[in-house]
Structure 1
Amino acid sequence: MALLLSRLGAFSHRHRLAVVLVWLLVLLGGGVGAATLAGTTSSTFSIPGQESTTALDLIEEDFGAGGNGATARVVVQSPDGSPLTAGTNAAALADLVADLGQLPGVVSASDPLDPAAPAVNPDQTIAYSTVAYTEPVGGVTVEEQDALVAAVDDARGTGLTVEIGGEALTEPVAIGGIGEAAGVLVALVILAITYGTLVTAGMNLLTAVVGVGVGIMGITIATGFLDLSSTTSALAGMLGLAVGIDYALFIISRYRQELRRGSTVGTAVSTAVGTAGSAVVTAGLTVVIALVGLAVVGIPFLTQMGIAAAGTIVVAVLVALTLVPAVLAFLGRRTLPRTQRTAPAETGDAPARGRGFLAGWVTAVTRHRVVALLTAVVALGVIAVPFFSMQTTLVQAMPENSTQARAEQLLAAGFGEGFNGPLTVLFEGSGAAEAAAGAREGIAGLTDVVAVTAPIPNADDTAALLTVVPQSGPATQATETLVADLRAQLADVGGVDTYVTGSTAVSVDVSESLDAALPVYLVLVVGLALVLLVLVFRSLLVPLVGVLGFLLTIGASLGATVAVFQWGWLADAIGVPSTGPLLSLAPILVIGILFGLAMDYQIFLVSRMHEAHSHGTAASEAVRRGFRQAAPVVVTAALIMFSVFAGFFTGDEATIKTIAFALATGILVDAFVVRMVVVPAALALLGERAWWLPRWLSWLPQLDVEGSALERRADSAPEPVGAGAR
């Protein structure tokens, strides 16, 4: 692989202008395609074949296709506890309903005071109007949303308290906000400090932006043909930008190292792509496999997210292997600070400048390896404790200062907590209405049930609906228990098929499926890590140390996330808008992404240790030498990745906020505790045994991540005079 990639680097060096122009054309074509072919995205999650999802399809068949559009629930509270049904309050409410019905994009707005279908609480102080739109969830335009907000603002001038709930105010997840820009700016500063030249830092960042731009535009084009989640682009952008910067960093750092050793530009490019590029391909492959492996779980929306993010990673790898070396060929020795461009060539083992602290660090860790290892493991174990009380849900609480949250609070005060998450029961079959009526009393007697509506039959009496209002809120354990109790109760109803559905039931079903898939997926990625690392390092104990370190990273990352987002620790200090159960898909996505990133650091760090040991260096000294060579780049890469993830954490989207926090925490833990303490301490403790491989595994192929084949080629065939010079 090293030889093949070195030839690719040499090709990119020779044809640098053509390579740059091809990538610019791809970027331009992607922009045109995204502008002309983009479609809408979905903000809902469901799993085909589950009871709740099947019931929604049956309801559409039995009761018509109406109600597929987005809805808003405009909640009104009277001033001073006066009734809404009389006087100026009733007139103001009637005017509001009339205005809502005339808004652009609105199909209808229900009258809360309609005697046939009243929507007012028993005290007549809180009511709501359901505003139905023609567009689906996520499709209501900004202009239509602004018109709704303006109508509500006008109604507030009458003295009424008016808030907006429902789906109509849902906005597509945006990429490129202030937080993301700040994260990228911090990454640029870190790169500039690392390289000592702003030109190289800007080039590194620019090539990564090209890669993530191509990936995001490809996903945007796909929305015109596929029903993708609204978080797909943000997730792919967050991950693609982080790894794009890091992969370019690895190749540029090796290129600069070769220049300082006296190599010509062409040779340095070829060597960097052959060596660091091999590690980039291996590391990128681990991320891609981990993301595509989400398909094993069998959940379509998770599969789509994984494949989309994996596609962006593939683009980032291709950019690092082709566009980066092409731009390096244009810059030549200008990638080095001025003071290093004419400095004498360094020897192969000369330590890079500015590594005194890390050299002292690894010396201390390997000298006190038992203490360092135990301290790190115990500390990470303590941080992971909250993980064992993790709760998940698809029902995410709105930010406390938002109009949606205030609308939910008003509805809970007027109609009960469970009004925000009612359950729908479908009866299918001949005599469905009679069966529903007979089951109504038993359902009403269940724990946590406040009310059960009268059955609503369809036109030919082959189906009927009951609405069950729980006492507890939609994201509570009591409501999840009610869903299970309700299904158990309905199992005894004969003659008809019964289904429990509604947004709360869908959330329960998806959460249970994801929770069940989590350990299976964890075993899958852990097994993959073992196989991959055995192939890379031709050792059994080194992969075992890497995998156990990954498990410590996952435990600490999700443990800290539970402590902040579920328990509320430091939530106000770091700007978490609301606390409660974690979003169901967050843990499995975090495991998949962190797996790839953790293996990145493991490969880049330990491959230099393996390289030193394979050249005859004693095991302990190989650990220290490899650490001194690779750790500065890993530290820089981790700080950049942390900055990018932290930038996405500042956004308002609950899904991205949770995942960004977990990933940022995981990066800090993995890079600065697991790879900087656990791995060198454990390898120093194992000594020569760390690199042991049983004879019966000697047939395993050598991936040659360190580029040994390039060294053998260089020894046997010296470079022609002037080759690749600038």
Structure 2
Amino acid sequence: MAKLLYKLGAWAYKKPKRIILFWLMIIAVAGGLIAMNGMEFRGSMSIPGTESGQAGEILKNATGSTKDYGSIRLIFKVDDGKTVQDSSVKDAINKTIEQVQKEDNNVKSVASPYVRKTISKDGKIAYADITYNSESDKVTQESKDKVLESIKITRDAGIQIELGGSVTLSKTEVGGSSEIISIVAAFFVLIFTLGSLMAAGLPIVTAIIGLITGLLGIMAATSVVDMSAMSISLASMVGLAVGIDYALFIISRYRQNLSEGKDLQESTALALGTAGSAVLFAGVTVIIALCGLSLCGVPFLGVMGKVAAVMVLVVVMVSLTAVPAGISLAGHHIRPKKKKKTSTRFVCNEKNQKSNLWGRIVTKYPIITIVLVLVLTCAVGYSAKDMELGLPDNGMMQKTSTERKGYDIMSEGFGEGINGSLVVVMQASNSGGNTLKAMQEATKEISDLPNIASITPVVPTKNKTIAMVSVTPKTGPNDMATKELVKNIRDKSKVTESKYNINLMVTGRTAVNIDTSDKLSQAIPKFAGVIVVLALILMILVFRSILVPIKAVLGFVMTLVATLGFDVLTLQQGNFADLLGIAKAGPILCFIPVIAIGILFGLAMDYEVFLVSGMREHFSKTGKAQESVLYGVKNSGVVVAAAGLIMTIVFASFAMQNDINIKSMGIPLAFGVLFDAFIVRMTLVPAVMTLLGKSAWYMPKWLDKILPKFDIEGEAIREEEKIA
């Protein structure tokens, strides 16, 4: 692989304009496809095979429905001594409802609060539900705009009106401020690291080429593949971060080759043969981890992983072609500055020349360093044991959003449980006898359960063997008591089946969210186990060692524990909420642990490869274990630290967004990368390598012979140079 990439680097250096033109053509084609077919983000978070999903299908079949209709809830509130029954208020609300029905042919029905009696006891709050002919994710922006236009009638009448329902109203930002902030901050980090504006600008330019190419390609694919806006947000985060990092690794190696006296073309080819090999291995590792999300058996999560994997693949391809092309066009402008000659009386001793201060501290006190890292990991990660998973509801959105205001008004007027109503589907196991009476008796059994605020009468379907009741809990949709109520209703089914031949199933948005969270909770150990085994195998192949891979995997586990603990401390328990812009503490987004495992595994192995491969390269030349650790920290450590800082900045910029889903991804990934790069790789790894000494590189000869070899340090290239 190193030889092939060496040749690619030499060719790219000679044909830079062709390569840049190629990527510009790809961007133009993707843009043309979007112009022709448009783009539409859609896709639900439901999981097939869950009890709530099965109940929903049974109910749809019984009612003759083929889809889950989308809905927007109009929530009204009056003050100043008025009630919704006042003639002026009533007139404005009715006119709004009429306007909605008249202006939009996609509206199936609007349930008036005066017909459905959806008015609070004090008469101050009421709500009306708009039901559409299409599913929630297929309700058009035009329909949403018509609702926003219609509600001006009530607002002009002095009535507060907010929106809720299953249709997403607040737009998820796809590209924009987060990327700009990341790029600007990364540019300053690169200037500090590389000491040159031109050298700092090249990774930014190539990363932007990769990001735009990947994003446009993914957007073009939305016309044929169902994906949510969160998929492209995750892809954007990962793509921008690794794009800058991979370019940085190649350019740093190129500048190191120049400083050793090699010419421009040879330095470029060698950089791609060595650092490029590591980039390719690292990229493939991240891609495998992201595609591995499909192992969880959750369709929407598998799509998110594959979309992000496509982005990483594009970025790797751009890094291996556009970066050497950019180096060729930049010429001598990104050459490292020559070090000024220093008087002999100020020359540092030989030890200082081969190491830096951080490397000397960590390797001098390895046991103390390891203990401190373990204590820090336990302190931050301890809270992970209290982790609760869920899906965000409108109550976790920013206080300024109409969905959050609507959630709070509904809670005020009807109790928080109104935002998490449950649909109980009743299925008669035989058609004999009075099934309606049996269902009514089963309803009484349910009503005796704790945490129920209200329960509606039985509503049978046409065939009368299927019916439904709506149960309103006293607690909100993400409250543990609500989850317990769902479990209790399902457990009660054993009683109703034996007594009345009535099977009870729970569905509805809240139950679907609970089942999704439970499914993902069960998937975490399986996915984590696969990732750990994969990490061991990959590291053994790369480093031809037993102890180094074990150390790498244990470091990843420490990063994961600390990350999940930090997630609980912030998003779930609300610590640093104001600083992080968390509107309301709540359960961890159910798919975050799985995504964190996949992405952090890939990135952790990246940093391990770039840091430890330098140590292995020096050890293979000198046979000096201690010196190789110091060499790796000094020569690769600065680049790894810069790469980790850049990636942290990228994820942190997304963590500052208002959308709770994107924020929930950005916060743990920013912390996880920061912890792994600086605490685990830059601190723990050199300390452990110091204690292991030469035994770190032990590999049984029989195992070394049967394993395939992956040359990521360019040993084959150096051998050819010796022969030549």
Smaller-chain TM-score bracket: over 0.9
Counterparts of 1:694 and 1:712, CA distance in 2: 24
Q: Does 1:512 align with 2:518?
A: yes
Counterparts of 1:105 and 1:478, CA distance in 2: 40
Q: How does 1:427-466 map to 2 (within 5 A)?
A: 427-428=426-427, 431=431, 433-466=436-469
Counterparts of 1:565 and 1:289, CA distance in 2: 28
8 Å contact from structure 1 (residues 42, 137) kept in 2? no
Q: How does 1:293-692 map to 2 (within 5 A)?
A: 293-336=292-335, 339-340=337-338, 359-396=356-393, 397-428=396-427, 431=431, 433-494=436-497, 495=501, 497-692=503-698
- Amino acid in the other structure paired with 1:484: K
8 Å contact from structure 1 (residues 623, 684) kept in 2? yes
8 Å contact from structure 2 (residues 12, 325) kept in 1? yes
> After the TM superposition, which of the residue ranges 707-716 and 398-407 deviates more from structure 2?
398-407
Counterparts of 2:355 and 2:452, CA distance in 1: 61
> After the TM superposition, which of the residue ranges 200-209 and 171-180 deviates more from structure 2?
171-180
Counterparts of 2:168 and 2:179, CA distance in 1: 23
What's the offset of the Cα at 1:171?
Answer: 4.1
Match of residue 44 from structure 1? 44
Counterparts of 1:43 and 1:298, CA distance in 2: 16
8 Å contact from structure 1 (residues 145, 169) kept in 2? no
Instruction: Give SS of 1:71's match.
Output: strand
Match of residue 32 from structure 1? 32
Match of residue 723 from structure 1? none
- Amino acid in the other structure paired with 1:621: E
8 Å contact from structure 1 (residues 423, 501) kept in 2? yes
Counterparts of 2:105 and 2:367, CA distance in 1: 67
Q: Does 1:711 align with 2:708?
A: no
**Pairwise CA RMSD of aligned residues?**
2.3
Counterparts of 1:113 and 1:364, CA distance in 2: 71
Match of residue 722 from structure 1? none
What's the offset of the Cα at 1:327?
Answer: 2.0
Question: Cα 1:336–1:466, aligned 2, differ >3 Å: closer, same or farther?
Answer: same
8 Å contact from structure 1 (residues 433, 463) kept in 2? no
8 Å contact from structure 1 (residues 362, 680) kept in 2? yes
8 Å contact from structure 1 (residues 422, 467) kept in 2? yes
What's the offset of the Cα at 1:151?
Answer: 3.5
- Amino acid in the other structure paired with 2:240: L
Counterparts of 1:36 and 1:635, CA distance in 2: 43
> After the TM superposition, which of the residue ranges 262-271 and 577-586 deviates more from structure 2?
262-271
Instruction: Give SS of 2:548's match.
Output: helix
8 Å contact from structure 1 (residues 453, 467) kept in 2? yes
- Amino acid in the other structure paired with 2:710: L
8 Å contact from structure 1 (residues 173, 653) kept in 2? yes
Query: Percent same amino acid at aligned positions?
Result: 36
> After the TM superposition, which of the residue ranges 140-149 and 636-645 deviates more from structure 2?
140-149
Instruction: Give SS of 2:622's match.
Output: coil
Instruction: Give SS of 1:491's match.
Output: helix
Counterparts of 2:423 and 2:68, CA distance in 1: 16
What's the offset of the Cα at 1:146?
Answer: 4.2
- Amino acid in the other structure paired with 2:709: Q
Counterparts of 2:275 and 2:147, CA distance in 1: 55
- Amino acid in the other structure paired with 2:44: T
Counterparts of 2:410 and 2:655, CA distance in 1: 30
8 Å contact from structure 1 (residues 97, 109) kept in 2? no
Instruction: Give SS of 2:636's match.
Output: helix
What's the offset of the Cα at 1:67?
Answer: 6.9
Counterparts of 2:378 and 2:454, CA distance in 1: 45
8 Å contact from structure 1 (residues 75, 165) kept in 2? yes
Which runs of 5 or more structure 1 residues have no equivalent in the other structure?
345-349, 718-726
Match of residue 280 from structure 1? 279
8 Å contact from structure 1 (residues 377, 678) kept in 2? no
> After the TM superposition, which of the residue ranges 299-308 and 396-405 deviates more from structure 2?
396-405
What's the offset of the Cα at 1:433?
Answer: 4.1
8 Å contact from structure 1 (residues 105, 135) kept in 2? no
Instruction: Give SS of 2:136's match.
Output: coil
Match of residue 226 from structure 1? 225
8 Å contact from structure 2 (residues 175, 233) kept in 1? no
8 Å contact from structure 1 (residues 109, 129) kept in 2? no
Match of residue 76 from structure 2? 76
Counterparts of 1:573 and 1:527, CA distance in 2: 37
What's the offset of the Cα at 1:708?
Answer: 0.8
Question: Cα 1:201–1:134, aligned 2, differ >3 Å: closer, same or farther?
Answer: farther
8 Å contact from structure 1 (residues 424, 501) kept in 2? yes
> After the TM superposition, which of the residue ranges 262-271 and 430-439 deviates more from structure 2?
430-439
Instruction: Give SS of 1:129's match.
Output: strand
- Amino acid in the other structure paired with 2:130: V
Match of residue 97 from structure 1? 97
What's the offset of the Cα at 1:192?
Answer: 2.5
Counterparts of 2:133 and 2:110, CA distance in 1: 15
What's the offset of the Cα at 1:154?
Answer: 3.9
Counterparts of 1:609 and 1:281, CA distance in 2: 19
1:442-461 deviations in Å (ceiling 9; x for gaps): 01111111222112222232
Question: Cα 1:113–1:545, aligned 2, differ >3 Å: closer, same or farther?
Answer: closer
What's the offset of the Cα at 1:251?
Answer: 0.7
1:235-256 deviations in Å (ceiling 9; x for gaps): 0111011001111111111111
- The TM-score with structure 1 as length reference comes to 0.93
Counterparts of 1:357 and 1:86, CA distance in 2: 84
> After the TM superposition, which of the residue ranges 199-208 and 24-33 deviates more from structure 2?
199-208
Question: Cα 1:106–1:411, aligned 2, differ >3 Å: closer, same or farther?
Answer: farther
Instruction: Give SS of 1:460's match.
Output: coil
What's the offset of the Cα at 1:140?
Answer: 4.4
Counterparts of 1:574 and 1:619, CA distance in 2: 43
8 Å contact from structure 2 (residues 75, 128) kept in 1? yes
How many residues are treated as equivalent by the alignment? Answer: 706
8 Å contact from structure 1 (residues 84, 125) kept in 2? yes
Match of residue 724 from structure 1? none
Counterparts of 2:84 and 2:466, CA distance in 1: 36
Instruction: Give SS of 2:76's match.
Output: strand
Counterparts of 1:465 and 1:367, CA distance in 2: 70
Match of residue 190 from structure 2? 191
- Amino acid in the other structure paired with 2:478: A
Instruction: Give SS of 2:131's match.
Output: strand
Counterparts of 1:510 and 1:67, CA distance in 2: 19
Instruction: Give SS of 2:496's match.
Output: coil
1:172-227 deviations in Å (ceiling 9; x for gaps): 53222323311111112222332333223222112111212222222222221122
1:449-508 deviations in Å (ceiling 9; x for gaps): 122211222223242111111111100000111111111112333445542101111111
Counterparts of 1:193 and 1:356, CA distance in 2: 21
> After the TM superposition, which of the residue ranges 585-594 and 84-93 deviates more from structure 2?
84-93
- Amino acid in the other structure paired with 1:78: V
- Amino acid in the other structure paired with 1:62: A
8 Å contact from structure 2 (residues 211, 240) kept in 1? yes
8 Å contact from structure 2 (residues 144, 169) kept in 1? no
What's the offset of the Cα at 1:105?
Answer: 6.0
Counterparts of 1:391 and 1:406, CA distance in 2: 25
Q: Does 1:61 align with 2:61?
A: yes
